[in-house]
């Protein structure tokens, strides 16, 4: 287990601390008394085979996978893709997990095997994605025969499996007709539920349980319906913080522990991006890869696995803070959430700051009611024309009209969800489903409830205004703006990236 995270209180001996804004890295001085929440240490990955085999052979609940397999069994391996982890894994542990399941299936003489990628509203996987994640061995054995498919939430061949409050739930036909389903996933946050469940159903069902009025009880019911269609065995790898390559080695260590190589890497990264803003950022950050320590691998029934894996992740990443802050400060690194985009789009930046970072806590918010979130990001209109066309249109055409989620739902959601061009991009061009940006905005507004302000340091003022936020040129300026609501001597907490801090308020 790596060194746990902790909270540092800035004093007169504390060095300037690393901050990230889009693609720019800086050292920023923080005032005396500022609390800095550091995530657990990032450490390199190790061989996960032993942990995976133990999870398959000694599950936390139910029979071992080998006892569920045999001749004539119709087996489907579901690979959960909930859009993470970012930066992507240098060697994706799901590859080894799938390979070990296939080896058990071969040993048991199972000859009807397919792989389904549970992408939900996220972009469907191309052949390149399949090969990168699952490896040449699996790809060459299954792709040519059409035995690896990405789930399509708009497909005409989805099958009904039951009703929830009069709404018919439809799911992937192959998975529904299987005798045994093995779900393979990664745990890199503390969210509830099985990440593959909503990745396998229709768009209408996803919208019903995760849209404007997100319904946890309905989501649980959908999970039960999906699980009832076949015998399901889940296996989840719990991963640690991202350990970056040598050119980004300074991101792996606390500032007072930087070695000469880390100092040189930071100086080179800063000068490279400053000298060649677009090209330099693309070269350094466009496709960063990281090693992730495998903290544990848990196998068994889906409910038990996802409860157990959540507790493992919590134990490794919880950082105790004294109280909710008046001002919460967050760095926002585009390469940490937008694939191939070193800066990141404004909507995804807001989601990262307000939902993924400020919202990552154990029940008690990290910023008090009436407090302020200060985030560092340029908020450039940096949308991918191919994968984020609905997001670009949402930002340009919808938000200037209204910020209210209910009005957006009533006026704009349905037309976007059924737009032929957006659906074509989703089905054929590996773009996100148009509903994804609507759901992101609903979660952003939920996370903003109770906040007095959201201020973007270095952010484009017009982009910030479109989202109902404000911009400031420097951190000091942001504090001055915030002082109007939190007073001249606020309690400040800085969430130190690029890893994830799980805040536990004592």
* Contact by Cβ (8 Å): 258, 250: yes
Residue 202: helix, strand or coil by DSSP?
Answer: coil
Name the band, by pLDDT with cuts 50, 70 and 90, for residue 27: very high
Radius of gyration of the chain (CA): 23
Distance CA 129, CA 116 (A): 13
Task: Report the Cα 82 to chain-centroid distance in Å.
Answer: 7
* Contact by Cβ (8 Å): 344, 335: yes
Q: What's the predicted TM-score (pTM) here? A: 0.94
CB atoms within 10 A of CB 429: 13
pLDDT tens digit sequence for 403-419 = 999 999 999 999 999 99
Residue 373: helix, strand or coil by DSSP?
Answer: strand
Name the band, by pLDDT with cuts 50, 70 and 90, for residue 199: very high
pLDDT value of position 503: 84
pLDDT tens digit sequence for 276-302 = 666 556 666 666 788 999 999 999 999
Round to the nearest angstrom and report the end-to-end CA distance of the chain: 23
Average pLDDT value for residue range 67-83: 92
pLDDT value of position 14: 96
Cα–Cα–Cα angle for 70, 74, 76, rounded to 5 degrees:
110
Please state the CATH superfamily assignment of the domain spanning residues 49-239 in this structure.
LarA, N-terminal domain (3.40.50.11440)
Output the average pLDDT for the chain. Answer: 92
pLDDT beyond 60 at 2: yes
Name the band, by pLDDT with cuts 50, 70 and 90, for residue 386: confident
pLDDT beyond 60 at 50: yes
Distance CA 89, CA 265 (A): 21
Return the percentage of the chain with pLDDT > 90, whole number.
76
CATH 3.30.420.10 given to domain 6-33+322-505: no
pLDDT value of position 272: 74
Distance CA 188, CA 392 (A): 28
pLDDT tens digit sequence for 308-357 = 999 999 999 999 998 999 999 999 998 888 777 778 899 999 999 999 99
**To which residue do tokens 């399509």 refer?**
152
pLDDT beyond 90 at 98: yes
Domain residue extents for the chain: 6-33+322-505, 49-239
pLDDT tens digit sequence for 118-168 = 999 999 999 999 999 999 999 999 999 999 999 999 999 999 999 988 899
Name the band, by pLDDT with cuts 50, 70 and 90, for residue 83: low
Longest Cα separation, the chain:
72
């Amino acid at each position: 287990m790596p060194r746990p995270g902790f909270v540092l209180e800035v004093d007169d001996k504390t060095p300037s601390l690393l901050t990230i804004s889009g693609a720019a890295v800086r050292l920023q001085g923080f005032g005396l008394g500022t609390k800095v929440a550091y995530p657990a240490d990032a450490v390199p990955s190790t061989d996960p085979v032993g942990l995976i085999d133990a999870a398959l052979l000694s599950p936390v609940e139910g029979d071992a996978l080998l006892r569920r397999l045999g001749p004539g069994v119709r087996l489907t391996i579901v690979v959960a893709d909930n859009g993470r982890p970012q930066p992507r894994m240098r060697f994706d542990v799901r590859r080894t997990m799938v390979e070990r399941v296939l080896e058990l299936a071969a040993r048991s003489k199972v000859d009807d095997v397919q792989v389904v990628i549970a992408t939900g509203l996220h972009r469907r996987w191309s052949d390149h994605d399949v090969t990168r994640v699952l490896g040449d061995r699996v790809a060459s054995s299954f792709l040519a025969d059409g035995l690896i498919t990405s789930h399509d939430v708009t497909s005409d061949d989805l099958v009904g499996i039951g009703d929830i409050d009069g709404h018919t739930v439809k799911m992937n036909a192959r998975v529904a007709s299987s005798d045994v389903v093995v779900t393979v996933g990664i745990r890199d946050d503390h969210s509830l539920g099985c990440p593959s469940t909503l990745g396998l159903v229709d768009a209408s069902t996803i919208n019903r349980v995760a849209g404007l009025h997100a319904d946890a009880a309905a989501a649980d019911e959908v999970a039960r319906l999906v699980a009832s269609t076949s015998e399901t065995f889940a296996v989840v790898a719990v991963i640690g913080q991202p350990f970056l390559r040598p050119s980004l080695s300074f991101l792996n260590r606390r500032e007072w522990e930087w070695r000469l190589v880390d100092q040189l890497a930071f100086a080179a990264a800063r000068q490279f991006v400053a000298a060649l803003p677009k090209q330099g950022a693309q070269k350094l950050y466009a496709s960063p890869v990281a090693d992730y320590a495998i903290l544990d691998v848990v196998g068994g029934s889906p409910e038990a696995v996802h409860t157990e894996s959540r507790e493992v992740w919590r134990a490794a990443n919880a950082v105790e803070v004294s109280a909710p802050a008046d001002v919460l400060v967050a760095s926002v690194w585009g390469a940490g959430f937008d694939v191939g985009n070193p800066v990141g789009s404004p909507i995804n930046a807001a989601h990262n700051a307000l939902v993924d970072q400020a919202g990552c806590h154990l029940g008690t918010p990290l910023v008090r009611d009436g407090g302020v979130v200060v985030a560092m990001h340029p908020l450039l209109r940096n949308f991918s024309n191919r994968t984020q066309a609905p997001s670009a249109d949402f930002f340009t055409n919808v938000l200037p009209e209204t910020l209210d989620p209910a009005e957006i739902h009533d006026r704009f959601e349905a037309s976007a969800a059924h737009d032929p061009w957006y659906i074509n991009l989703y089905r054929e061009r590996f773009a996100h489903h148009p509903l994804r940006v609507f759901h992101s905005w609903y979660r952003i507004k939920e996370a903003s409830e109770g906040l007095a302000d959201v201020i973007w340091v270095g952010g484009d003022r017009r982009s910030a205004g479109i989202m109902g936020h404000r911009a400031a040129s420097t951190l000091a300026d942001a504090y001055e703006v915030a002082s109007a609501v939190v007073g001249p001597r606020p309690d400040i907490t800085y969430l130190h990236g690029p890893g994830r801090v799980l805040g536990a308020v004592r």
